[in-house]
Structure 1
Amino acid sequence: MERFLGVDLGGTNIKYAVIEIDGTSIKEILKDQISTEAKNGPDHVTDRIANLMKKIDSEMAIVGAAVAVPGIFNHDTGEILLFPNLPGAWENFPFSKKLTDATGKSISLINDARAFCLAESTLGAGRGHRFVACIVMGTGVGGGLVIDGKVHEGATRGAGEIAHQVVAPDGLVCGCGTRGCVETLTSSAAISAMANTSTPEEAYERAKAGDETAIAAFRNAGKWLGIALANVNAVFSPEVFIVGGGVAQAGDLVLDFIRAELHERNHLWPNSAFKVVPAQLSFFAGATGAALKAAAAAGTQLSFTSIT
């Protein structure tokens, strides 16, 4: 029996989960969160995570740990390259090294959307499928690809950025620096702006009540995401597309528009060859995925017959 800790670093909260693996059985034995206090900068945030890791390790004898991060990092050095939605001087910050030095453990990093995808493909809506594509709709829009239970990383180890396909070359500048990415048209901010609301939650409530402007905002987001997934379908041909994140909580209001656009643009194989489904796991999917990453880094096989 081995225990692994996963931490999901967000702009507002740091979520964490501990999984216990015994052969082909896996059990989630802890999940909780603390505030990020991101405004205090990288060193402060790192100290909060390191102290959390040391506390949990002292109580549960953790074998390994990993952190899901909201951006791009150097896979060889563990340095942060880009955190577009976190304040502070994160560029070139030696995040992994500082955590390792503070805890005495080798700390793995994984992109937060890829962590979500690993969790969903292993324990959630993608379980039992070999080829899985995920999209996470929220403040930013992330993505990931899983093949045979492993995150597909590509040559740069950054593959899966579904939302950074350019679909509007003369469109808005994205947080990544490119103009016209899918993210600029499908994020929570994009939906709120088009719906003339303060939040996507307000847009959802108005859409449910029949407000045509709000419905059009979700239709527009669904259209562009459907186009993006049609491109992924042509190149990757997944069995299942899993849609998660805050915006995806609108359910079929956004999923139906995504499905319609994807089906309309698919002329390569039957629409029955794939499906678009909502995520199954909880608010802590990213933390669970990070824990699975830690287990994989320790050489543990991620194939389970019993999930509790």
Structure 2
Amino acid sequence: MAAAGIDLGGTKSEVQLFDADWRLLDKRRDATPDTYDALVAMLADQVRWVVDRAGGSIPVGVGAAGLVDPDGNAFTANLPAKGRPLPADIAAAADHPITYVNDCRALALSEAAFGAGRGHSTVMSLILGTGVGGGIAFDGQLRPGPVGTGGEFGHTPASAAVVSAHALPIHTCGCGRMGCVETYIAGPGLTRMARDLTGRDWTPETLAAARASDAGAARVWDVWLAMTGDLLLSLVQTVDPDVIVLGGGLSRVPNVTDDLDRALRQSQIAGFGAPPIVLAEGGDASGARGAALAAMNASREGPRDD
């Protein structure tokens, strides 16, 4: 059976059609509109287009940042949909069912099946980009819980030890809480932390490039590693994954997996190891393919009794 996935971002939305062997057959990209009604119309049009290309009804998944609350309303910062029933409205406008999944969870699912997590039972993704999020695939499946916030790693508290040791300010997160780890280790958080520690303006890219030659940049990078290492330790102690798959813009920093491996091992209880930290292999295809796989799995399981 064919399946389709939509990778919905703040600037673009790409729908991809896959055959039964997960080969990419066709794709279409559109700019993400800046109003809710236009967003729903564009996504519904993408759903109708891909169903037409497939020649009939197929599983269709939509992967996007953020959450859906128990009432079916979107909780997202990068789309004009906060507090609106986006999944239901897409399905109604397209006259076709969809499966809506967090984009970080979609990445975990895709990498577990086709990428760096192949052959592993428990695959954890960690996305370090504009925000911080993740997902966990158990035996190739997502296991959503009753609350729906599993994988929101960026909205766990930042390491108190690191905050205290470096006298870091505590900032308000986009979620409304204070002191989330995302406010320190996501791209914008790293830039702000660099300003707090050095008084200078750095981008993540310039900071990473200068860390071997500039003492201020090296200090900021060490603090970032300590903070991220403590987050990784919390995740490893809770889940004990076989592998951690890294994605997002900060995953492109040279040698970042080696640096994070050292940071995790330094945080770990003496005498215990750590799972490998590897880069995602799927690139730009992972989001749409993971959403398609989530939709395929949902179609096989049938409707859930919530």
1:270 maps to which of 262, 272, 284: 272
Asked if 1 retains the 8 angstrom alpha-carbon contact of 2:65 and 2:76, the reply is yes
Note if 1:84 corresponds to 2:77: yes
Where does 1:100-119 land on structure 2 (aligned, <5 Å)?
Answer: 100-119=91-110
Distance in 2 separating the partners of 1:197 and 1:119: 36
Matched residue type, 2:279: P
Distance in 1 separating the partners of 2:17 and 2:219: 41
1:247 maps to which of 223, 227, 250: 250
Cα displacement (A) at 1:220: 2.5
**Higher mean C-alpha deviation, range 6-15 or range 166-175:** 166-175
Note if 1:68 corresponds to 2:63: yes
Residue of structure 1 equivalent to 2:260: 258
> Would the alpha carbon gap of residues 122 and 226 (structure 1) be closer, same or farther in structure 2, given more than 3 Å must change?
same
Residue of structure 1 equivalent to 2:283: 282
Note if 1:16 corresponds to 2:10: no
Cα displacement (A) at 1:293: 0.8
- The alignment yields a C-alpha RMSD, in angstroms, of 2.2
Distance in 1 separating the partners of 2:296 and 2:245: 23
Q: Where do 5+ consecutive residues of structure 1 fail to align? A: 301-308
Asked if 1 retains the 8 angstrom alpha-carbon contact of 2:229 and 2:260, the reply is yes
> Would the alpha carbon gap of residues 17 and 219 (structure 1) be closer, same or farther in structure 2, given more than 3 Å must change?
farther
Where does 1:225-236 land on structure 2 (aligned, <5 Å)?
Answer: 225-236=228-239
Cα displacement (A) at 1:56: 2.1
Cα displacement (A) at 1:269: 6.2
* TM-score, length of structure 1 as denominator length: 0.85
* TM-score, length of structure 2 as denominator length: 0.86
Distance in 1 separating the partners of 2:144 and 2:59: 21
- Seq. identity, %: 28
Residue of structure 1 equivalent to 2:295: 294
2:84 maps to which of 62, 68, 93: 93
Matched residue type, 1:263: R
Where does 1:105-184 land on structure 2 (aligned, <5 Å)?
Answer: 105-168=96-159, 171-184=170-183
Secondary structure of the corresponding residue to residue 299 of structure 1: helix
1:44 maps to which of 38, 54, 63: 38
Question: Any idea what the Cα deviations from partners look like across 1:152-175, whole Å, max 9, x if unmatched?
Answer: 323313212222220256721111
Note if 1:203 corresponds to 2:196: no
Distance in 1 separating the partners of 2:18 and 2:184: 36
> Would the alpha carbon gap of residues 183 and 55 (structure 1) be closer, same or farther in structure 2, given more than 3 Å must change?
same
Where does 1:21-36 land on structure 2 (aligned, <5 Å)?
Answer: 21=20, 25-36=21-32
Asked if 2 retains the 8 angstrom alpha-carbon contact of 1:153 and 1:160, the reply is no
> Would the alpha carbon gap of residues 258 and 202 (structure 1) be closer, same or farther in structure 2, given more than 3 Å must change?
same
Distance in 2 separating the partners of 1:184 and 1:224: 11
Question: Any idea what the Cα deviations from partners look like across 1:55-102, whole Å, max 9, x if unmatched?
Answer: 222122351111112111036x5321x21233x4x2331212211112
Matched residue type, 1:259: D
> Would the alpha carbon gap of residues 267 and 281 (structure 1) be closer, same or farther in structure 2, given more than 3 Å must change?
same
Q: Which has the higher strand share?
A: 1
> Would the alpha carbon gap of residues 100 and 274 (structure 1) be closer, same or farther in structure 2, given more than 3 Å must change?
same
> Would the alpha carbon gap of residues 216 and 16 (structure 1) be closer, same or farther in structure 2, given more than 3 Å must change?
farther
Question: Any idea what the Cα deviations from partners look like across 1:99-145, whole Å, max 9, x if unmatched?
Answer: 11122211111011111111111111111111111110111111111
Distance in 2 separating the partners of 1:286 and 1:26: 13
